[in-house]
Amino acid sequence: MTVTQLDLEHFRCHTHTTFAFEPGAVLITGPNGVGKTSILEAINIASVSKSFLPVSDNELVEFNASGYRIITHVRHDLGATLTISIEYDQAGGKRIGTSAGGPTTAQELIGLVPCVVLTSLHRELFIGEPAIRRSFVDRVLAQCFASYKHALWRHRTALRQRNRLLAVGHGHDSELEVWTEELIDASCEIVQRRWQFVVRFNRLLNDTVRELNFNLEAITLQYELPWLCINDGVRSDSLDLEALRTRMRATVEELQAVERERMTTQWGPQRDVLTFSVRQRPLYTVASQGQQKLALYAIKLTEAAYIHHALDRAPILLLDDVFADLDSTNIGMLESSIIERSRQWQTFVSAPSAASLRRRLDFQHIPLGKSAESLRA
């Protein structure tokens, strides 16, 4: 897929700005505060309805404006076009529409224009809490499979209701049993899909690391379910849904007294543990800062390959300040890889300057100055 045009109104520092993009690698440069990351952020909002930064919609609105508008024009791999409109008003909330079907929901938007994002915040994939890596897996799978999006929704709903009943205490056993069965069903689907993802992802990641030739050791995404009543972990032969249900029901029975005491659910995929490792050790304990940056890039390329295979549609790559903290050798390797991969996936790269790039002429270069409005297409 290719983003061909982006129209921004009162979004961050962009008052009324239009950008036209070409297929391949797009390099956006300029000093801090001119809206480089905002362009990538807007494309991500067109993909999943929210920013990749931990901000609210109110914080995305330009100062003294009452809302923002993002219109993204996309060309599919086979030539069809799609326009996505995201409008946010501080009084009326968010409205999403597409040229294909008119008004739509945030959940329906996910997967129409698949995106892969790499920012400086993504080092948390290595050093952060397990919830961050669960969110990473969930974002990939939600873009690829509508059934997984629905399973996540069912899981959140059942978990909330079940925790409410546990907090109330005795007297609602029949209702608790209903929500327990709903939580088991949704949890089984999530666990099965996550395990299948990890198996496939690790194979692709091994291939990606080898092809990149970045002097990285083999990286593995490990998946553990410490909450499930089994002694030997999750195996490929334990992925039958009925077998999983049986194991989960045994887990519920075993933890019943503990849950009553703690008044909260003690089992389920919200407690899954995922770890990026090298030689059976957490990656961040054995890799330098530069190696971690290159490992993140390899992981994001693997994510793109997984999405492309699952959807048969090329995702869009958004790489924010990807050259930061790298020496000249690693910058050169990364630059060459980006240009090569952009023949397959349109890639947006933000950087303070193009001066350190030897192949800058292979990018569509969009320099931003003090005013982004000066770059109207």
Nearest C-alpha neighbor of 34 from the set 17, 21, 48 = 17
Give the separation between CA 117 and CA 237, rounded to whole angstroms: 33
Which residues contact residue 126 at a Cβ distance below 8 angstroms, ignoring those fewer than 6 apart?
276, 282, 283, 284, 287, 292, 295, 296
Q: What pLDDT was estimated at residue 264?
A: 96
Give the separation between CA 377 and CA 375, rounded to whole angstroms: 6
Q: Which residue is it, tokens 């689907």? A: 189
If you compute the radius of gyration of the chain from its CA atoms, what whole number of angstroms results? Answer: 22
Low-confidence ranges of the chain (pLDDT < 50): 231-237, 371-377
Structure tokens at 252: 């519920």
Provide the residue ranges of all domains of the chain, joining segments of one domain with +: 1-114+313-377, 138-211+224-273+292-308
Nearest C-alpha neighbor of 99 from the set 115, 114, 80, 117 = 80
Cα atoms in the 13 Å half-sphere on the side-chain side of 40: 28
Q: Which residue is it, tokens 């770890």? A: 275
Tell me phi and psi for residue 135, to 5 degrees. Answer: -65, -35
Whether 1-114+313-377 and 138-211+224-273+292-308 share one fold: the answer is: no
3-class secondary structure for the chain?
A: CEEEEEEEEEECCEEEEEEECCCCEEEEECCCCCCHHHHHHHHHHHHHCCCCCCCCHHHHECCCCCEEEEEEEEECCCCCEEEEEEEEECCCEEEEEECCCEEECHHHHCCCCCEEEECHHHHHHHHCCHHHHHHHHHHHHHHHCHHHHHHHHHHHHHHHHHHHHHHHCCCCHHHHHHHHHHHHHHHHHHHHHHHHHHHHHHHHHHHHHHHHCCCCCCCEEEEECCCCCCCCCCCHHHCCHHHHHHHHHHHHHHHHHHHHHHCCCCCCHHHCEEEEEECCEEHHHCCCHHHHHHHHHHHHHHHHHHHHHHHCCCCEEEEECCCCCCCHHHHHHHHHHHHHHCCCCCEEEEECCCCCCCCHHHCEEEECCCCHHHHCC
Which superfamily does 1-114+313-377 belong to?
A: P-loop containing nucleotide triphosphate hydrolases (3.40.50.300)
Sort strands 220-224 and 273-278 into parallel, antiparallel or unpaired. antiparallel
Q: What pLDDT was estimated at residue 230?
A: 63
Q: What pLDDT was estimated at residue 374?
A: 39
- Angle between helix axes 146-168 and 130-144 (nearest 10 degrees) is 140
Q: What pLDDT was estimated at residue 375?
A: 42
Encode pLDDT of 76-90 as tens digits.
988 899 999 999 999
Nearest C-alpha neighbor of 306 from the set 146, 198, 222, 212 = 198
Give the separation between CA 156 and CA 186, rounded to whole angstroms: 9
138-211+224-273+292-308 — its CATH code? Answer: 1.20.1050.90
Specify the amino acid at residue 100: A
